[in-house]
Chain A
């Protein structure tokens, strides 16, 4: 192959697309979600339920998924991850359903819970990153059908339009081996240089010159004998309208290869290589504006280093560095799920990018060491890192290890307090706490055996909330100490305040107003109610009020009669 003939191209005027979404990461995130929850697919449509879809969308590396989930079709990215997990046998669920009634137009999926195959998943993650990547790639490459291929179906991140698929089950398409063609193209890409923008047109010309039958054989097999009349390109039509393309492509046309295989190559490049992050692509204006499908729009492509390493079988598995600031830096060509899973119990993720940064978490680490006493964290990290472990980290880890063994909880056991040594209780003993107290297993059985042995044992059935006291006269560690008698507190004096008020009731409004004015003039604090013709004042002001009232009226003299 003379790949040197491939031309480079300037992308200055082109729209560059770089895939920053990580299919591998999202696949593992998806699996962990399904593993931790019971998810039932919808009865109609067999889709992920909206609630779970929303949660999953938030976890995906594709931020558009959050908004897309609300669409009728859901998030294409999430659906793709979901399907990929199924293809890899990480998850299991019914995809056929059943037709409920005679007139049902589509199948129903009742109680279709998503199951997961942990064994299969662990088998996958136990492979090297190279093997994992190859398996993933192979799964995508082999996933095709006569209608499900680059000619007719968009990939999840594709933007180019497609041929009209009507008639795709006839003529040459059912027999085309897209898997082989894809692999062939992958191998071609594997011979390119990384970081160089190549012209798609030059790649197409290269294929036309040296591999014109890489996709459709020279003498292909036809579905029906009459299909031969349409020739090798009988499945493919162009046109002015999206849904009505009737212009056939003849083998004899000079640019027939460009119009069929050429279009395939464009759509292939924005498919698997772009999706998997192996290549970036760049778009420009189509060569056939106003015609469907577009031609020559994907102008350029550029492959990455990690892709070339993959093709050569030299994938960087993982580079781990433990820093003195407790950070752990992971660098690998592809998402190191297995390594991350093994570090998760004692780390937290700081950044999740091409270089993943974790941080050792003391609490998590101590608890993990307590839960797994035989685990040696220092040895584990030493084995992982290429460089020696920082000395301060080693010292800290040793201390953490000590902290994990300082508190041991014995759950589901009982205690035996025994004034006299009983041999028959030895088989229940787990630990001796003191000469007359021991930790025992199966306290109910022990009690029954002591009773049967006529030892008249006492059983204290403590409640969940409190420890029960022993009966009076019984000596035990659980006998509460005698409470000192506390002196009876004397009664507290509480002071209540009382205020006396006097209310004068007037039969005449004139008199009440005259009195009111006199009181106001004398600055006596009173409350007057003209509606009820009353004046109210505090008893403390009695003298001042009486003095003021004496001068209240010029035409009357006041006499106050008490009601009660």
Chain B
């Protein structure tokens, strides 16, 4: 059921007069009599939301954040983690969760921020409580207070480390991809006939970002990498990234602040220390940190793979005597590496890569390069690259090959007229000289039908 349906059902069927009154009061609606219809109209507005959220306990706020993250309706058992009473291990569903429902009703539903309604019976017989669906409307999400209320604002970008990334690059040329089933394989940088690859994929700087997250989670096997419970729990890394996403641009948080969120979001018995997780995140370059007093503060690091605006290629690239370009893996921007790997044959020697132009691959992307700084540098400094780039630019798209296209020859003028009348405006048929027409294969049936309707037959010549 969607939010609108749940809201409607809740207002018309589930709420009692007392509930409606309580909600109206909590949200600050008119103190005059509020009918179910009026409540339904006003409940999705932002009236009174700020006050209501301010009145919540921290656990309740975190609970709503978890609902926001999950972004789907849940049943009452989902709220077990904020239950003030211990949930019995045995008994019927109603016996276990009856009191929890009362608690949720008092603390969240009657504040007009959580909706609920009875879902239709689908499969096995279920009690009413089992069928009760709870939803936190997406319209309320933006008003939720931060899950890290104690996060502080600190100036500066903090400290990040590229060591792990740079060390990663140095492995180029040392490995051959072997085991396709090894989960590390997609991130192994290797050379295949002069082509730089991540695993079996053409290299992209984005793969390094993916590797960072992988390395971060891999460090805490099996704790961080288990498959989370689809209904209830979240993987610690996902919970952390969610929390960090809620920070404003200049906000930083301590690992201790993250702990309550991690405890609520994740499976508690498999939770590593927040301090250790954050430290590892910093080591892999995923997190930035700042020290204030004796405390480390963390937030997501800016992307290390982007090229700084003031970057000059001269710093890390030089032209060799034979015209090839050498780049220093310790310092070259990752995006440059990606751009160069796309157009050049690569050889590796420790932390130096030498590149010579690959005309075939250059020909494929030469128009996409446009007026990039890298292209300007290559044109200016490397005669070998400059010659190849100019040559490919001159030749590009002088030959156009069309594939997955049907072509027909029409020898009867009346038939041509009929086809033009039927298809010219559609833009899906191109009329060429000498009675030839070209069209997408999907148009074949319609065109054949028109031909037959006009009293002609379709003679088919198939390619061998």
Interface residues, chain A, with chain B CB atoms under 8 Å away: 362-363, 366-367, 369-371, 373, 403-420, 422, 425, 431, 433-434, 437, 439-444, 446-447, 450-452, 454-467, 470-471, 473-474, 476-478, 480
Contacts A466-B428, A477-B432 given; indicate if A415 touches B405 (C-beta within 8 A).
yes
Name the A residues within 8 Å of B410 (CB-CB): 406-407
Contacts A454-B391, A460-B403 given; indicate if A418 touches B458 (C-beta within 8 A).
no
Across the interface, B406 reaches (CB within 8 A) one of A371, A410, A470, namely A410
Across the interface, A415 reaches (CB within 8 A) one of B401, B451, B456, B464, namely B401
Asked if A416 contacts B401 (CB within 8 A), the reply is yes
Interface residues, chain B, with chain A CB atoms under 8 Å away: 359-360, 362-364, 366-367, 391-392, 395-412, 415, 427-428, 430, 432-434, 436, 438-442, 444, 448, 451-452, 455-464
Contacts A434-B434, A464-B442 given; indicate if A415 touches B402 (C-beta within 8 A).
yes
- Give me the 9 closest cross-chain CB pairs, A-B, nearest first: A456-B363, A412-B463, A370-B457, A370-B459, A366-B457, A415-B402, A457-B399, A406-B412, A458-B397
CA distance A466 to B406 in the complex (A): 11
Across the interface, A467 reaches (CB within 8 A) one of B364, B428, B452, namely B428
Asked if A478 contacts B360 (CB within 8 A), the reply is no
CA distance A452 to B358 in the complex (A): 11
Asked if B407 contacts A415 (CB within 8 A), the reply is yes
Across the interface, A413 reaches (CB within 8 A) one of B407, B412, B448, namely B407
CA distance A286 to B405 in the complex (A): 78
Kindly provide the distance from the CB of B158 to the nearest chain A CB, expressed in whole angstroms. 42
Asked if B463 contacts A410 (CB within 8 A), the reply is yes
Q: Knowing that A450-B399, A464-B441 are A-B contacts, what are 16 other residue pairs whose CB atoms are under 8 Å apart, sorted by A's residue number?
A: A369-B457, A370-B458, A371-B459, A408-B460, A410-B407, A416-B400, A417-B399, A455-B363, A456-B392, A456-B398, A459-B400, A461-B404, A467-B439, A471-B367, A477-B430, A478-B438
Across the interface, B455 reaches (CB within 8 A) one of A403, A433, A442, A459, namely A403
Q: Specify the chain A residue showing the minimal Cβ separation from B398.
A: A419
Q: Specify the chain B residue showing the minimal Cβ separation from A443.
A: B403
Asked if B460 contacts A411 (CB within 8 A), the reply is yes
Across the interface, B457 reaches (CB within 8 A) one of A407, A456, A474, A477, namely A407
Number of A-B contacts (CB under 8 A): 209
For the residues of A in contact with B, the DSSP-based class is mixed
Q: Specify the chain B residue showing the minimal Cβ separation from A452.
A: B360
Name the B residues within 8 Å of A371 (CB-CB): 459-460
Kindly provide the distance from the CB of B398 to the nearest chain A CB, expressed in whole angstroms. 5
Most buried by A among B360, B367, B405, B411: B405
Name the A residues within 8 Å of B442 (CB-CB): 463-466
Asked if B440 contacts A463 (CB within 8 A), the reply is yes
Across the interface, B440 reaches (CB within 8 A) one of A409, A418, A466, namely A466
Asked if A420 contacts B407 (CB within 8 A), the reply is no
Name the B residues within 8 Å of A413 (CB-CB): 405, 407, 463
Contacts A367-B457, A477-B432 given; indicate if A416 touches B399 (C-beta within 8 A).
yes
CA distance A434 to B430 in the complex (A): 14
Q: Specify the chain B residue showing the minimal Cβ separation from A428.
A: B401
CA distance A206 to B117 in the complex (A): 98
Name the A residues within 8 Å of B461 (CB-CB): 408-411
Contacts A433-B433, A456-B363 given; indicate if A410 touches B408 (C-beta within 8 A).
yes
Kindly provide the distance from the CB of A491 to the nearest chain B CB, expressed in whole angstroms. 27
Asked if B432 contacts A433 (CB within 8 A), the reply is yes
CA distance A371 to B460 in the complex (A): 7
Asked if B436 contacts A442 (CB within 8 A), the reply is no
Kindly provide the distance from the CB of B408 to the nearest chain A CB, expressed in whole angstroms. 5
Name the A residues within 8 Å of B433 (CB-CB): 433-434, 437
Kindly provide the distance from the CB of B255 to the nearest chain A CB, expressed in whole angstroms. 50
For the residues of B in contact with A, the DSSP-based class is mixed
CA distance A256 to B51 in the complex (A): 119
Name the B residues within 8 Å of A363 (CB-CB): 452, 457
Most buried by B among A407, A410, A447: A407
Kindly provide the distance from the CB of A319 to the nearest chain B CB, expressed in whole angstroms. 30
Kindly provide the distance from the CB of A117 to the nearest chain B CB, expressed in whole angstroms. 29
CA distance A480 to B430 in the complex (A): 10
Q: Specify the chain B residue showing the minimal Cβ separation from A406.
A: B412
Q: Specify the chain B residue showing the minimal Cβ separation from A445.
A: B401
Kindly provide the distance from the CB of A467 to the nearest chain B CB, expressed in whole angstroms. 5
Name the B residues within 8 Å of A477 (CB-CB): 430, 432, 438
Name the B residues within 8 Å of A439 (CB-CB): 407, 436
Across the interface, B462 reaches (CB within 8 A) one of A373, A412, A442, namely A412
Name the B residues within 8 Å of A451 (CB-CB): 360, 363-364
Kindly provide the distance from the CB of B285 to the nearest chain A CB, expressed in whole angstroms. 37
Asked if A404 contacts B402 (CB within 8 A), the reply is no
Contacts A370-B457, A433-B432, A467-B439 given; indicate if A406 touches B415 (C-beta within 8 A).
yes
Name the A residues within 8 Å of B439 (CB-CB): 467
Most buried by A among B359, B403, B411, B441: B403
CA distance A434 to B366 in the complex (A): 28
Asked if A456 contacts B396 (CB within 8 A), the reply is yes
A-B contacts, 24 of them at CB < 8 A, read A362-B455, A366-B456, A366-B457, A367-B452, A373-B459, A406-B412, A407-B409, A409-B448, A409-B461, A410-B409, A413-B407, A414-B402, A416-B401, A418-B398, A433-B433, A433-B434, A443-B402, A456-B366, A458-B400, A459-B402, A462-B402, A462-B403, A471-B367, A471-B397
CA distance A404 to B456 in the complex (A): 6
Kindly provide the distance from the CB of A435 to the nearest chain B CB, expressed in whole angstroms. 9
Asked if A467 contacts B400 (CB within 8 A), the reply is no
Asked if A455 contacts B456 (CB within 8 A), the reply is no
Most buried by A among B397, B415, B452, B455: B397
Across the interface, B403 reaches (CB within 8 A) one of A425, A459, A480, namely A459
Asked if B400 contacts A460 (CB within 8 A), the reply is yes
Kindly provide the distance from the CB of A434 to the nearest chain B CB, expressed in whole angstroms. 4
Name the B residues within 8 Å of A420 (CB-CB): 398-399
Name the B residues within 8 Å of A474 (CB-CB): 397, 400
Contacts A454-B395, A456-B363, A463-B440 given; indicate if A414 touches B403 (C-beta within 8 A).
yes
CA distance A369 to B457 in the complex (A): 8
CA distance A442 to B439 in the complex (A): 17
CA distance A235 to B426 in the complex (A): 84
Name the A residues within 8 Å of B407 (CB-CB): 409-410, 413, 415, 439
Name the B residues within 8 Å of A440 (CB-CB): 401
CA distance A297 to B230 in the complex (A): 84
Asked if A407 contacts B430 (CB within 8 A), the reply is no
Contacts A419-B398, A443-B402, A474-B400 given; indicate if A403 touches B409 (C-beta within 8 A).
no
Name the B residues within 8 Å of A416 (CB-CB): 399-402
Kindly provide the distance from the CB of A271 to the nearest chain B CB, expressed in whole angstroms. 49
Asked if A443 contacts B401 (CB within 8 A), the reply is yes
Asked if B428 contacts A408 (CB within 8 A), the reply is no
CA distance A408 to B458 in the complex (A): 6
Name the A residues within 8 Å of B366 (CB-CB): 456
Asked if B403 contacts A405 (CB within 8 A), the reply is no
Asked if B411 contacts A405 (CB within 8 A), the reply is yes
CA distance A434 to B436 in the complex (A): 10
CA distance A473 to B398 in the complex (A): 11
Q: Specify the chain A residue showing the minimal Cβ separation from B461.
A: A410
Asked if B438 contacts A418 (CB within 8 A), the reply is no
CA distance A63 to B406 in the complex (A): 48
CA distance A443 to B406 in the complex (A): 12
Kindly provide the distance from the CB of A472 to the nearest chain B CB, expressed in whole angstroms. 9
